[in-house]
Homo-oligomer: A and B are copies of this chain.
Amino acid sequence: MPLTPAPLRHVTITSPFWSALQTNSRETTIPAIIHAQKTTGHWTCLTWPPNHPTKPHPFWDSDIYKVTEAACYTLMTHPNPALLEEVESAVDMIRAAQHADGYINSYYTVRGLTSRWTNVRDLHELYCIGHLIEACVAYETLTRSGRLLVPVMKAVRHVASVFGTEDGKKRGYPGHQEIEIGLLRLFELTGDESLLQLAEYFLLERGKRDENGETYFDREAKARGGDPYDGMGPEMRPTYEVPRDYAYHQAHQPLVEQTEIKGHAVRAVYHLTAATDYARLTGDERVRAAVERLWRDTVDTKMYVTGGLGAMRQWEGFGPRYFLGDAEAGNGCYAETCATFGLINWCQRMLRVSLDGEVGDVMETALYNGFLGAVGLDGKSFYYENPLTTATGTPKERSTWFEVACCPPNVGKLLGSLGGLVFSTGEEGEVVVHLWIAGEFRVPGQEETVVEVKTEMPWDGKVEVAVRGEKGVRLALRIPGWAREGYTCAVAGELRDGYLHLPVVENATVELNFPMEPRKVYANPKTGKDEVAIMMGPLVYCVEDVDNEGVDVDYVALVDGPVVKGQSKAIATMRNVVPLRAKAKVLENRQWGGLYGSSPWRWSEGTVELVLVPYFLRMNRGGKGGMRVWNRRAD
């Protein structure tokens, strides 16, 4: 049953929780990103002539494309003439920046076109075009003007003239995947088979080795005059695990042979997002099997409880299986915002292949925790890394802008396109609710039919799904893994793979109730973590020092016994937050002279009551920086 995400114009998010975040994104984040790009001068990089005094960065172009894409999503539901004008002027700039042959890239325009396409491993030309294509999909969905489609198709034709298996073409593929996603999305929008073919080429060529055991990246390095056996561009140098480590780019072997998710986490999940679409669109069984294998490896061995991905700072990516350090110290926790953003998109693509509650659970976890906490409640401060613990005395503040500015626009993209994660339709008009976010979905093709979800999630587990209009619909409602035991639904249905399938509902309201109670989560012993995390519904909770004055939250141990809900309260601008309370012992002898001693750690006889708050709300109220998701056990 192929599934189609809800078109954004068909969804209205009504959840106070989420619409406040969306408003923030629309009114603060996106303008802040454009403002930052303008004040740093990056915004105009596409207009720079050859030998411009400021040499542009290899991926500043993509920042323009990403924020344009994000802006288009918000414009679909929230018209805003000033923002639309910003978008149109960006489109003008893009059109003007394109070379006659279709090439577009500010870095090589300034440095000289003769050296273009000589380092696709490091220099992001294909990555940038990928983001341009995604911007095009968003812009054309919004405007249908063709003003971006025409230059983008020209750019794609140029790329296809350079890369491919035919004689005289380069058998290259991007160092950073992204163009594959764009090509497949534009294929779905336009039906142009050449887009599918180019995506197929990139996906299947990647990681192939020639008779000398060399990949395209080796041959390309040699052609540049570099030593392919240790050659790396300057910006890559400190990032490989070992020289010539193409697992960093998931190009150590072809996708269909890979059994372990490796390397740079963002690249890996972008790769798999596209591969999932490709398998769906073509029915390629080997690619689909590879995607499923790597999904299992990710979810079973390499994912933080928050949906964070990538333990290793050095290569911004995956460490060994079960290695999931929680603190940045020692470079054992990275959990980049964009990797979780990519994971959410990958989940959405998986849910277009088939309904699978586990995939929905991962999407929900990643959304509410790893992703959501990356943006401050002010809407204009962001985390690049999302460790699960920070120590007292070293608070980790969000930043307003990044040298590598990928995370902020991804926040805008995701919040702008949230409706497409919440609802989808099946081929026969079945309406699927993936995420329990209050909102309305005007069912495509039967516009008078509206499915409305009412809920106070994530603070309360009561849900109403109302179907109004001329025609009824069948519903498939995701029953979250955490609610699988104890949920109730007023209408009898069939629970299959985590989704409850109901018969046709017509002008009626279905009531569901999910048990919204604190629960304890434990980690596989292979992680080495004999600790406990607290969750409620989709939310991972953390202990933060601002709520626990007088307790050194770096050195507490939760005792056996219930965790209870506290009185709901506001945290910064977020209303109705439900804090939790748990009993803990504190370490009595935490002051040591040196490193080693003859007395064991001594936990208090008595207990203190700790307050826990959702992880995504961390570090919005100052404090000394003590924060932890995983807690020692004193039981």
Task: List A residues at the B interface (Cβ < 8 Å).
Answer: 227, 230-232, 234-235, 237-238, 240-243, 299-301, 303, 305, 311-312, 314, 319-320, 322-323, 325, 329-332, 519-527, 530, 532-533, 554-555, 587, 589-590, 592-601, 632-633, 635
Contacts and interface: CB of A to CB of B under 8 A. Distances in A.
B299 A594 contact: yes
B230 A522 contact: no
Given A237-B238, A524-B595, 17 more contacts: A231-B234, A232-B237, A301-B595, A305-B595, A311-B330, A319-B329, A319-B330, A319-B331, A330-B332, A332-B332, A519-B598, A521-B596, A522-B596, A524-B594, A524-B596, A530-B632, A600-B635
Contact of A520 (B234, B520, B600): B600
A530 B595 CA distance: 12
A299 B554 CA distance: 23
Nearest to A358: B594
A233 to B, nearest CB: 10
A325 B234 CA distance: 29
A142 B331 CA distance: 47
Contact of A555 (B303, B311, B525): B525
Contacts of A299: 594-595
Contacts of A595: 299-301, 303, 305, 322, 523-524, 527
A597 B527 CA distance: 12
A525 B230 contact: no
Nearest to A391: B526
A323 B319 contact: no
Contacts of A242: 238
A630 B522 CA distance: 22
Nearest to A319: B330
Most buried by B among A234, A243, A532, A595: A595
Contacts of A322: 329, 595
A194 to B, nearest CB: 39
A303 to B, nearest CB: 6
B525 A592 contact: yes
A300 B591 CA distance: 13
A596 B523 contact: yes
Most buried by B among A230, A234, A242, A599: A234
A601 B238 contact: no
A596 B312 CA distance: 20
Contact of A330 (B235, B303, B325, B587): B325
A319 B303 CA distance: 24
A530 to B, nearest CB: 5
10 contacts: A237-B238, A237-B240, A237-B243, A300-B594, A303-B595, A311-B330, A312-B331, A320-B330, A323-B330, A525-B555
A529 to B, nearest CB: 9
